[in-house]
A and B are shown apart, each in its own frame.
Chain A
Amino acid sequence: MTVATLRTTSPEAGAGRAAIAARTLRTDRWWIPPLTTAVGLIAWITYATVRVFMQKDYFVADYHYLTPFYSPCISNGCVPESAHFGTFLPDVWWLPYAALTLPFLLLFRMTCYYYRKAYYRAFWFSPPACAVAEPHAKYTGETRFPLIGQNLHRYFFYAAVLISLINTYDAIKAFETGDGEFGIGLGNLVLLVNVVALWAYTASCHSCRSIIGGRLNHFSQHPVRYKLWGWVTRLNGKHMQLAWLTLGTLALTDFYIMAVSAGWFSDPRIIN
């Protein structure tokens, strides 16, 4: 038995805690998950920002493929066939063509209970990992402005439902070719997978779970809501995976449509 030479002072001197100065004694690679999260989110945000301000290669007129980053296209700069809801925003470089919906989607994800965990850990280090001390001297959590605004998540959920309906309309509309005939191509499948994933992510939202039935105390008196709550609860267990899956499907769908629109390759057709 040897007495270690390290003699330390408690970071919470006076609180009577064990006098251990180390920020953490974890020996595993605890920094990998927050680093991976940060890299993934930065990469996606960079791609999305570049794309929404490109203002080109967002629509394939031959097959009515419209990227979700430009849906609904409501700028005066939109290709007329891509504007299903009219155009009324000025065509200026700093205003995305889908400027009406993108802020709500951004806020839906920013206030999402999964993304909150992800960015509080990866960017704000609050905490960076479990049992790893955060660097901040003070902490007030979500008790005051601006973070108390996280409580508005359910309103952005309502908006996300409406936007998912628009995305669904886009995916259905894409089964009509430029000539007005029914057609199916690889792009349709990409759009379809994306919209199914978006619905799954939206329905798995914690606010949705509460609205559907979580706020009830007597499930036995609301059998339909209880059943729905059970389904949402099962989806909710995969909320993190769905959050990342939809980032992937959104970027992939957008990239596919950009590639076809820019003529990098042609859409493989199954029917028409």
Chain B
Amino acid sequence: MGNQEHFRVWRGDDETGDFVDYDVEVNEGEVVLDIIHRIQATQAPDLAVRWNCKAGKCGSCSAEINGRPRLLCMTRMSTLPPGEPIVVTPMRTFPVIRDLVTDVSFNYEKAREVRAFVPPEGVAPGDYRMQQVDVERSQEFRKCIECFLCQDTCHVLRDHEENKPAFAGPRFLMRVAELDMHPLDAAAEQGLNRKEAAQDEHGLGFCNITKCCSEVCPEHIKITDNALIPLKERVVDLKFDPLIRRKKRARRA
């Protein structure tokens, strides 16, 4: 037999909602998603929650536990303060569909706005050859499971709905950084300047590098230090550093 814990789960839809209290059994080694499932099984069969792998790899069960954006399946009950109510809400940056399930389509729209990898001319797929040292930076970004916790916690989006059209958010600026660092991306040859796009189309300037995206990343990707700041510095090369611009012009001449 485990012990009893007090849960406060936000329940509602896109118009209204309440916190609903549940007293529920908790056993050793369980994670918050286990408890949500127990509430479903024993007290609230209509409680909506999105989940899939239960292993921290699918990015489906993103929510907020005691106000902190986290994966339900990767938050052990033993890490939460004992004897205190555990508050579970949906991600607060996105429209809620029902209970703990949010509509994250904003992120898919932003993903589509980032123009895809441009293959180098004359190199067929399968013939790409790259040195490990040239791709290892980007490999860190490829660990992203698209849980969108970074997008949820980023105050530019979370506290300012009006910024959503202009700001892609950390996840997709990281994607731009990945492509801009890619040794074979031939976007520039096609007239696409990814640095310029980062600043002018994806709103890199909105980021004030307060690092919440890095803090919540369940894959521990150093989004700010390794993607956003290097991308900002690359934009500086392009837009704010006349010395670099002059050097590049001289090389082209």
Contact = CB atoms under 8 A, between A and B. Distances in A.
Interface of A: 1-4, 6-8, 12, 15-20, 24-28, 113, 116-117, 120-121, 126-127, 130-134, 136, 138-144, 147-148, 151-154, 206-207, 209-210, 214-215, 217-220, 226, 236-237
B225 A139 contact: no
A25 B66 contact: yes
B159 A127 contact: yes
Nearest to A208: B233
Interface of B: 8, 10, 12, 14-22, 43-44, 64, 66-69, 81, 84, 87, 89-90, 92-96, 102-103, 131, 133-134, 153, 155-156, 158-163, 180-183, 203, 205-212, 215-216, 225, 229-230, 232-237, 239-241
Given A130-B212, A141-B206, A218-B134, A12 B19 contact: no
Contacts of A215: 233-234, 237
B160 A117 contact: no
Q: Which 4 A-B pairs have the closest CB atoms?
A: A16-B95, A25-B67, A26-B67, A210-B233
B179 to A, nearest CB: 10
Contacts of B208: 116-117, 120, 126, 141-142, 147
Nearest to A132: B67
Contacts of B133: 219-220, 226
Contacts of A27: 66-67, 81, 84, 87
Contacts of A152: 240
A116 B66 CA distance: 27
Main secondary structure of the interface of A (DSSP, over half): loop
A16 B14 contact: yes
Contacts of A144: 205
Nearest to B228: A113
B212 A26 contact: no
B166 to A, nearest CB: 9
Given A18-B89, A27-B66, A210-B234, A3 B183 contact: no
Contacts of B233: 154, 206-207, 209-210, 214-215
A24 B153 CA distance: 11
Most buried by B among A1, A130, A144, A219: A130
A6 B89 contact: no
B240 A151 contact: yes
Contacts of A127: 155, 159, 210, 212
Given A16-B95, A126-B210, A140-B206, 6 more contacts: A18-B90, A113-B229, A133-B159, A138-B160, A214-B233, A219-B134
B95 A6 contact: no
Nearest to A138: B160
B234 A131 contact: no
Contact of A17 (B95, B162, B180): B95
A13 to B, nearest CB: 10
A26 B17 contact: no
A147 B232 CA distance: 13
A143 B206 contact: yes
A7 B163 CA distance: 27
A19 B68 contact: no
Given A18-B96, A141-B156, A113 B209 contact: yes
B20 to A, nearest CB: 6
A138 B205 CA distance: 15
Contacts of B44: 1
